[in-house]
């Protein structure tokens, strides 16, 4: 026991040192090693990337919805990527730039917004605050993680400004398109920059992820056992483990691709003619790349989704004023999802000519994922059932996530079917499916997290009314975009095509495509409400109270604006699980994790009462010690 | 019964292993995944046929033995630091560094022998994979050498070498890991080439 006291004592000594040390602007806000500042850096970078990524989708939706439109007015923004037709004088989007738009939209949204923007923000912000730690295991690595991400962002952004345009072989960068610089203009320098940026991005993710795992394992406060961790932390923990195991594989795949591109090896290339000329490459296999890519690619969708599921578990429980239904089932299903995510990658490759027997095994494994996913969906609904629901904007977005998770998840069962996939593969049905279940759901989780933890981040509240407007426009808008896409996909529209006007079969869908485009533009504009609300509230929002949502977790025991080290005094100890809401007999409808059972005799269950008696005894024991 | 519960329910100090050591282990896990990807890619590609078959140069035995000995000397340096024997620590680190460099030049020598046998980086993936596996391992070994150089510098600056024994235990763990990684790759190559 005495060693423990000594440790605490030295902790506080170090902490005092920090307080007295005046930090310069640069070490406080730019090259900061404080997890809260790094989280905000990730969040604001993520928001900027989300605006860029959204804008790209608006441009290609204009092309898809209104193929005859004169786009000359976009010339100030896109310059040479708008070709002016000499005969008619109409401006047309460059066909290869269209592919670049699709590619960059995917890359930015999947990696820069929903991986770095989501995990980077909330893992950094919540892990030390919710487990009761002064900071991350290594503040320096954490800072490096952000700056590698920043360098990666800059390189990816720079690729928009080169004459051959950014990478355009789609975000999955399948060779040979991505391996041969002469195959298309975007496969040249743009692709090289893409690979460099992604290599830096992987380094950033690994530095961050290693830190998250080490922090959760090693720096939990006294009493914070794994069965008392909030579900957010469980989600971030499993996400970081998935990232640690899958991102290095993408690095290997990228390394072999770089060797093929720049050193003339043939890992992915074989017997190719380009422009009527035979290339010397022999013996490579493009399918090998697909295997390596999807070994990352499929876990990646859970890297995107799990943090959002954790965030919403916390928000739904808090705002239903009820304990989360099936706490251990939630952990178990997240673990099951994490494990299964590594054994289903080939369902992306059903039509690549793989062995049909292997296909049926991957189909079976894929469909098993429906079980833990359904457990999670049911647990959300049963938590809401008969709760005293408080509809904060964060709660609305969390319920929105549950809606998208279900409606997008159901189509996943269609797509996981090797036979149905022959028809549906690479159509808009796939686009609709993953934009609902992974894109929109993860995005809603992220937005919900921002609304919920904004008071802790900035000490102020976001505007509620604008939050509601933002929710309803986004929620309705997203369904208006992606629901019709299912029909277009079933009709056979392939993804990534520049235009459908040349095919008579698709002419009946012209109006529907225009409708989707209008909905997409409206939804994008609605996001600007959020951006305004976010930046306005940082400076002018209403002052927050210490625990505005009457929540039970540790972050709400810190001062309203926690300083470096998070708690001014000693780190609080934890006595109970994080979901003691509306406990029968309790004075209030929530009991903080820091309240010992001895102080709540009126609400203790029989076995907790027994523990309460022991807590007192032990306190005496410590004094004697 | 009561006393047992007493021990369990008091908020317990959550102490695992040292965070820095844990971070190192996680870092090694990510390196393992890089090689797991490369070697499983090797197997998948090999199963498709059209695969260059060649003899593994026997000189790889030499480099393997050199690396194994360097692991022993690294361990000797760590033990010496724990006994606060400055001279042996520095000597052990210098020898490890030297053996690491000899290992790298032996690997390069193996590449030259491969070229003499018409196995090139560019060409059939059967040959390319060997170069990539050895090259990526060599790259990590260079990082291990840099780590040892840093530890050498620290051992000269430290008042007592026993002060740096924790940091030295991290670098030694990493060096053993790189050794084990090479053994894995070598056994893998013997079985699958």
CB contact under 8 A, B128 and A266: yes
N-term to C-term CA, chain A:
8
Give the pLDDT score at B1: 38
Give the pLDDT score at A23: 67
* Model confidence pLDDT, tens digit, residues A49-74: 999 999 999 999 999 999 888 999 99
How far apart (Å, rounded) are the C-alpha atoms in residues A479 and A485?
A: 10
Give the pLDDT score at A25: 75
How far apart (Å, rounded) are the C-alpha atoms in residues A309 and A314?
A: 9
Give the pLDDT score at B53: 85
Question: Kind of pairing, strands A91-93 and A277-278?
Answer: unpaired
In this prediction, residue A15 has a pLDDT band, given cuts at 50, 70 and 90, of very low
State the DSSP code for B148. H
CA B28 to chain A, closest CA, distance in angstroms equals 10
Enter the CATH code of domain A32-272+287-540.
Answer: 1.20.210.10
Q: Which residues of A touch B124 (CB under 8 A)?
A: 266, 282-283
CB contact under 8 A, B38 and A215: no
CA A608 to chain B, closest CA, distance in angstroms equals 10
In this prediction, residue A7 has a pLDDT band, given cuts at 50, 70 and 90, of very low
Question: What is the distance, to the nearest Å, from the Cα of residue A183 to the centroid of all Cα atoms in its chain?
Answer: 32
CB contact under 8 A, A283 and B126: yes
In this prediction, residue A29 has a pLDDT band, given cuts at 50, 70 and 90, of confident
How far apart (Å, rounded) are the C-alpha atoms in residues B132 and B125?
A: 10
How far apart (Å, rounded) are the C-alpha atoms in residues B176 and B164?
A: 18
In this prediction, residue A271 has a pLDDT band, given cuts at 50, 70 and 90, of confident
What is the percent of chain A where pLDDT is above 90?
Answer: 77
- Closest C-alpha among A73, A72, A71, A81 to residue A101: A81
Beta-bridge partner residues of A598: none
| Number of neighbours of residue A546 by Cβ within 10 angstroms | 11
* Model confidence pLDDT, tens digit, residues A531-582: 999 999 999 999 999 999 999 999 999 999 998 899 999 999 999 999 999 9
CB contact under 8 A, B125 and A223: no
How far apart (Å, rounded) are the C-alpha atoms in residues A241 and A252?
A: 18
CA B107 to chain A, closest CA, distance in angstroms equals 20
| Structure token digits, residue A380 | 């959300």
Position A620 pLDDT exceeds 70: no
ipTM of the complex: 0.90
Position B7 pLDDT exceeds 70: no
The arithmetic mean of pLDDT across residues B56-63, rounded, is 92
CA A225 to chain B, closest CA, distance in angstroms equals 7
Sign for the CA dihedral angle at B147, B148, B153, B157 comes to: positive
- Closest C-alpha among B30, B48, B158 to residue A252: B30
The residues in A 411-450 lying below 8 A from B, measured between CB atoms, are: none
- Choose among B13, B50, B52: nearest Cβ to A222: B13
Sign for the CA dihedral angle at A225, A230, A233, A235 comes to: positive
**Three-class HEC string of B7-42:** HHHCCCCCCCCCHHHHHHHHHHHHHHHHHHHHHHHH
Q: Please tell me which residue of chain B has the smallest CA distance to A244.
A: B30
Give the pLDDT score at A30: 82
Helices A286-320 and A370-384: crossing angle, nearest 10°? Answer: 20
Q: Give B55-192's CATH code, choosing from 1.10.10.10, 2.40.10.10, 1.20.120.80, 1.10.260.40.
A: 1.20.120.80
Give the pLDDT score at A353: 87
* Model confidence pLDDT, tens digit, residues A344-364: 999 999 999 888 999 999 999
Q: How is chain B split into domains, by residue range?
A: 55-192
SS3 A42: helix
The residues in A 243-262 lying below 8 A from B, measured between CB atoms, are: 244-249, 251-253, 255-256, 259
A371: CB partners within 8 A, 6+ apart: A333, A336
How far apart (Å, rounded) are the C-alpha atoms in residues B64 and A540?
A: 66
> Is B9 an interface residue toward A (CB < 8 Å)?
yes
Q: How is chain A split into domains, by residue range?
A: 32-272+287-540
């Amino acid at each position: 026991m005495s060693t423990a006291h000594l440790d605490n004592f030295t902790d506080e000594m170090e902490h005092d040192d920090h307080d007295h040390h005046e930090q310069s602007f640069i070490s406080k806000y730019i090259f900061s090693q404080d997890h809260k500042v790094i989280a905000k850096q990730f969040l604001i970078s993520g928001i900027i990337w989300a605006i860029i990524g959204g804008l790209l989708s608006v441009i290609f939706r204009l092309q898809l919805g209104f193929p005859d439109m004169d786009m000359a007015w976009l010339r100030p923004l896109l310059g040479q990527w708008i070709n002016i037709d000499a005969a008619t004088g109409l401006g047309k989007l460059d066909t290869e730039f269209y592919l670049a738009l699709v590619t960059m939209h995917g890359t930015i949204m999947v990696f820069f917004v929903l991986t770095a923007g989501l995990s980077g923000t909330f893992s950094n912000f919540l892990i030390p605050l919710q487990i009761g730690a002064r900071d991350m295991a290594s503040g320096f690595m954490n800072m490096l993680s952000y700056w590698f991400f920043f360098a990666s962002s800059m390189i990816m952004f720079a690729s928009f400004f080169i004459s051959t345009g950014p990478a355009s072989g789609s975000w999955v960068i399948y060779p040979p398109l991505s391996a041969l610089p002469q195959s298309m203009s975007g496969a040249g320098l743009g692709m090289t920059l893409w690979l460099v940026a992604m290599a830096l991005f992987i380094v950033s993710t690994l530095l961050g992820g290693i830190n998250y795992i080490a922090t959760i394992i090693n720096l939990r406060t006294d009493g914070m056992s794994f069965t008392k961790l909030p579900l957010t932390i469980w989600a971030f923990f499993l996400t970081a483990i998935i990232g640690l195991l899958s991102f290095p594989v993408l690095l290997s795949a990228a390394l072999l691709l770089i060797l093929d591109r720049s050193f003339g090896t043939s890992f992915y290339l074989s017997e190719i003619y380009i422009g009527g000329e035979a290339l010397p490459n022999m013996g490579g296999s493009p399918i090998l790349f697909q295997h390596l890519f999807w070994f990352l690619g499929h876990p990646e969708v859970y890297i995107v989704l799990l943090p959002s599921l954790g965030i919403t578990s916390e928000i739904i429980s808090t705002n239903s004023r009820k304990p989360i239904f099936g706490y251990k089932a939630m952990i178990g299903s997240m673990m099951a999802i994490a494990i299964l995510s590594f054994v289903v990658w080939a369902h992306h490759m059903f039509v690549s000519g793989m062995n049909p027997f292997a296909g049926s095994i991957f189909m079976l494994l894929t469909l098993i994922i429906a079980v833990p996913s359904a457990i999670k969906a049911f647990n959300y609904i049963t938590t809401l059932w008969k709760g005293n629901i408080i509809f904060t904007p964060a709660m609305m977005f969390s319920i929105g996530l549950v809606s998208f998770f279900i409606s997008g998840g159901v189509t996943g069962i269609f797509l996981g079917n090797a036979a149905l996939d022959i028809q549906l593969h690479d159509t808009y049905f796939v686009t609709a499916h993953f934009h609902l279940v992974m894109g929109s759901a993860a995005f809603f989780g992220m937005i919900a997290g921002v609304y919920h933890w904004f008071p802790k981040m900035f000490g102020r509240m976001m505007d509620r009314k604008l939050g509601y407007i933002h929710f309803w426009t986004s929620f309705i808008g997203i369904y208006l975009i992606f629901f019709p896409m299912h029909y277009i996909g079933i009709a056979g529209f392939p993804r990534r095509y520049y235009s459908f006007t040349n095919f008579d079969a698709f002419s009946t869908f012209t109006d529907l495509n225009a409708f989707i485009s209008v909905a997409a533009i409206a939804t994008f504009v609605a996001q600007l409400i959020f951006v305004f609300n976010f930046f306005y509230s940082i400076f002018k929002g209403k002052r927050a109270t210490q625990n505005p949502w009457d929540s039970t977790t540790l972050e709400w025991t810190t001062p309203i604006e926690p300083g470096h080290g998070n708690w001014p005094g000693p780190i609080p100890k934890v006595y109970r699980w994080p979901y003691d809401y509306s406990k029968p007999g309790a004075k209030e409808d929530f009991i903080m994790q820091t309240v010992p059972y001895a102080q709540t005799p009126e609400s203790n269950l029989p076995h907790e009462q027994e523990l309460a008696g022991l807590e007192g005894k032990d306190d005496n024991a410590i004094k004697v010690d | 019964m009561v006393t047992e519960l007493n021990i369990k329910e008091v908020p317990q100090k959550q102490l695992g292993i040292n965070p820095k050591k844990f971070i190192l282990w996680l870092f090694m896990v990510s390196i393992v995944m890089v090689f797991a990807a490369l070697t499983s890619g090797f197997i998948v590609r090999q199963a498709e046929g059209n695969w260059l078959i060649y003899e593994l140069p026997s000189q790889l035995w030499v480099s393997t033995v050199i690396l194994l000995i360097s692991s022993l000397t690294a361990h000797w340096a760590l033990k010496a630091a724990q006994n606060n024997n400055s001279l042996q620590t520095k000597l052990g680190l210098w020898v490890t560094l030297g053996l690491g460099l000899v290992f790298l030049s032996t690997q390069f020598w193996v590449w030259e022998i491969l070229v003499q046998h018409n196995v090139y980086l560019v060409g059939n993936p059967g040959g390319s994979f060997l170069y990539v596996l050895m090259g990526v391992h060599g790259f990590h070994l260079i990082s291990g050498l840099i780590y040892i150089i840093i530890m050498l510098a620290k051992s000269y600056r430290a008042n007592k070498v026993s002060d740096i024994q924790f940091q030295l235990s991290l670098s030694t763990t990493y060096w053993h890991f790189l050794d084990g990684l090479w053994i894995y790759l070598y056994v893998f190559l013997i079985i699958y080439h």
